[in-house]
Structures are given as C-alpha cells and as structure tokens.
Amino acid sequence: MQIESTTLWDFPRQNYGSRSHGNNKYHGVTPAQVIWNLFQRYTKVGDLVIDPMCGSGTTIDVAEELNRRVIGYDLNLVHPKAIKNDARQIPLQDSFVDFVFIDSPYSDNIKYSNDPKCIGKISCENKQFFEELEKVAKEIHRILKAGKIVGWVIADQWVKRKFAPVGFLMYQILEKYFEPVDIVCLTRHSQTSNTGIWHHRARQYNFYLRGFKYLFIMRKIK
C-alpha cells in the first residue's frame, strides 16, 4: 500500500491484506486503510494511540499490526481487547497520548448499543448532541500531548427533507481546542442507501444521498 497523497480517500473494502481489522459487518465500521494512513503520517513505532469509540476494534487491530501501543474504549464491547468506558471521561492522565482516532456518531441513525448513555441515541437536531460531543473533544484535548494529532470522522445528515450540516458544526467545536491540519473526504460505500432504488428516489424527489464523510485532522497546540 502507498500513503494517500490527496484529500479524497476512496477505499471500497473495509479491510486490506489477508487478515481482518475489526468487523466489516459492524454498523458504522471505519475502513482500515483510513487508520493505516493516519498512523503512517502521524505516529511512529511504540507510540500510544487511543480510540475512545472503538466500535468493532479496527483501530486496535491496525495499531497492533503496526507495532503501536493502543487502548480502545467503547460502551458496547465487541472487540475482545476493548475496554468499557464513556468517551466523555477517559481514564488517562493529562498530556499522555501520542495520537487519537475517533469515528463518532453523527446522529441517532445507527443503533450502536443498548446503553442509555450512548451519544448515538441523540439526534443531531438536538443541541445536546453537540454538547455531548464537545465533552469528548475536551477529553481528547486533555489527554493528548502538545503538538500531537487527532483524526475525527463524522458525516452530515439528510432525513425527512431536512439537511443537517453536522460536519461543519462539529468542525466549529473542534476549532475551540485544536488547530486544523487538513480535511479529508472519505468516500462512502457501505451505506444501505447505496442502491438503485435510492439513487432513483434522490433524482425523483430532488435530494442528495450522502456520498462522503469528513475526516478532520487537527493538532493540539497547548
């Protein structure tokens, strides 16, 4: 594999190589090459990387393969090495971590867990959604070393003829705590609306299907 050289990343498969990284059947799973690329650019062997919402554990598997130390937290334990924890209270000391990756909910469109504390149970049309994600951002800022990077994946929403610019709103929050390095667009392949009937409906009823997610690459200054 080569490191991506543009800000448009298109990975048709969830995995790379002959082994699995996470579970491609998990709702909202991150393509493993996204994490691989970020590790290649922003980490080195032995660095400690954290995924506060690790889902099926893709970050854990990629990190171990590349000889990075890793801790993956989640409210819903799918990966055997994941640790149960709420991303709004990360049990690590200040300025301790070399890199953070997070693929967060962008509304209540996916059932991530049965835990009532799950942020993914809150609609992005409710201001509480962004208030809770800001708590996560503050925790990431607290545990991250100065000068180090967080990669945050999120998407917009279009539901019932209403568009919600979730990515832009989240970016405004992140700018309170980090400086921007770059923004990458991740092509979406696995969403259930990527079918002929949905493309027909989008043209007939004059709306757009979500074709990408944002990857915000941000640096902690102090």
Residue range 6-57, pLDDT digits in tens: 999 999 888 888 888 987 777 778 999 999 999 999 999 999 999 999 999 9
Residue 175 contacts by C-beta under 8 Å, 6 or more apart in sequence? none
| Distance (Å, whole) CA 198 – CA 194 | 7
Q: Does domain 8-219 have CATH number 3.40.50.150?
A: yes
| Distance (Å, whole) CA 119 – CA 105 | 7
Tokens 């594999």 belong to residue:
1
Residue 190: per-residue pLDDT? 66
Average pLDDT over residues 168-173: 98
The end-to-end CA distance of the chain, in Å, is: 34
Average pLDDT over residues 176-186: 98
Residue range 74-102, pLDDT digits in tens: 999 999 999 999 999 999 999 999 999 99
Indicate the domain borders of the chain: 8-219
Structure tokens at 152: 């945050």
